[in-house]
Amino acid sequence: MHVVALARSADALESLVEEISSSGGSAEFRTCDISKAAELGDLIEEIASTNGRLDVLVNNAGITRDGLILRMSNEDFDDVITVNLKAAFVACRAASRPMMRGRYGRIVNIGSVSGLTGNPGQANYAAAKAGLVGLTKSIAKELGGKGITANVVAPGFIKTDMTEALGAAVEAEIAPRTAVKRIGEVEDIAAAVSYVASDGAGYLTGQVIVVDGGLAQ
């Protein structure tokens, strides 16, 4: 499988491509501002055309602009919706065309438990992730007959650059509340995405796979 990674900056992508290539895989990266719908859609169509097919789409870009709703600006709400929800819609729409031609596809949208339970100070983020669930379930019903599945993988509290900014105290408070008594690792999410994107998951569609260590049960 050939991997094409997209992000606004090439800095993180260069090391990712090197890691995939050193492990015997094939990869390249392209830069793109996913908040610009036309740019994102055109690039996905170009990638599919250049490579002859598009089998798997993973939408995992996300930003936060946290704040209580009384203080949240329209701009902070719109920015999060644009990147976390609208860009996923644009990417799914663009990817659906080559997937339909190939009669095969796996769409994996990265959601969040916040989109299922809500979270104080994250009305914009939770709304975007909840919208992602509805988007994915609709896509699953529309494209299932074409051999295309669509699912959401919804992480809980995972060690990432985004969560590290919250501090060690938050991590220490969250870990005991999970059933497994630890904070999640990116490998936990990767394992779930790998299965949902596999040939073996052809009968799994329209689902939300919660990977949160039992935090939100």
Burial 159-173 (b: 16+ CB within 10 A, else e): eeeebeeeeeeeeee
As separate numbers, helices (DSSP H) first and strands (DSSP E) second, the chain gives 9, 6
Give per-residue pLDDT as tens, 176-192. Answer: 889 999 989 999 999 99
How many C-beta atoms surround the C-beta of residue 9 within 10 A?
A: 9
pTM beyond 0.95, yes or no = no
Q: Residue 172: what pLDDT?
A: 81
* Distances from the Cα of 134 to the Cα of 115, 130, 138, 150, angstroms: 11, 7, 6, 11
Which of 104, 125, 195, 203 is labelled catalytic? 125
SS3 64: coil
Give per-residue pLDDT as tens, 31-82. Answer: 999 999 999 999 999 999 999 999 999 999 999 999 999 999 999 999 999 9
SS3 35: coil
**Strand partners for 208:** 152
Give per-residue pLDDT as tens, 139-171. Answer: 999 999 999 999 999 999 898 876 776 667 777
**Strand partners for 151:** 108
User: Rounded to 5 degrees, what are φ and ψ at 135?
Assistant: -60, -45
Listing DSSP states for 191-210 in one string gives HHHHHHTSGGGTT--S-EEE
104 is known as an active-site residue: no
